[in-house]
Structure 1
Amino acid sequence: MSAGKSVDAALASLRAAIGSLESAVDARFEREKDHSEIEGEVRRVHADRSRLAQELDQSEFRANRLEEVNREVSRRLVTAMETIRAVLDR
């Protein structure tokens, strides 16, 4: 093989290696981009979960408070009905 053909073959090999390297770098950047997008989505999901958990806690507190108020109203109605019955029975 002549020196010219050896240089041409070496240059072709080098071009192929550089092409492979560029493809690998592009693929790596794409994976990093995808990974970053996934991390962002996970952060959004966690933020939504935290917000929903807080809203659930608040809703449960309101529901418990409404139950307490309902029991108090019921107790007062019973007392009022008993008072009315007592007055009517006289």
Structure 2
Amino acid sequence: MSTGKSMEAALSELRRAMTGLESAVDARIDREREHGDADNEVRRVHADRARLAQELDQAEFRANRLEEVNREVSRRLVTAMETIRAVLDR
């Protein structure tokens, strides 16, 4: 094989290697970008979850408070009805 042909073969192999390297770098960049997108999505989901958990806690607190108020109103109504019956029975 002549020097010119071996040089051409070496250059051709180098071009193929460079193309493969560029493809590998592009693929790596794409994977990193997808990984970054996934990380951002996970952070967003965690933030949403924290917000929803806080809203749920507040709703549960309000529901418990409403139950307490409802029991108190019911107790007062029973007392008022008993008082009215007692007055009417006299």
TM-score by length of 2: 0.99
Matched, 1:74 2:58: no
Matched, 1:57 2:57: yes
1:1-90 superposed matches below 5 A:
1-90=1-90
Cα-to-partner distance string for 1:30-78 (whole Å, 9 max, x where unaligned) = 0000000000000000000000000000000000000000000000000
Kindly provide the amino acid, as one letter, of the partner of residue 48 in structure 2. D
Cα-to-partner distance string for 1:2-51 (whole Å, 9 max, x where unaligned) = 00000000000000000000000000000000000000000000000000
CA distance in 2, matches of 1:7, 1:19: 18
Two-structure CA RMSD over aligned residues (Å): 0.3
* Identical counterparts, % of pairs: 78
CA distance in 1, matches of 2:35, 2:80: 66
CA distance in 2, matches of 1:3, 1:23: 30
TM-score by length of 1: 0.99
Structure 1: runs of 5+ lacking an equivalent: none
- Equivalent residues, number: 90
- The 3-state SS of whatever aligns with 1:70 is helix
Flag as ranges the 4+ runs of structure 1 deviating above 2 A. none
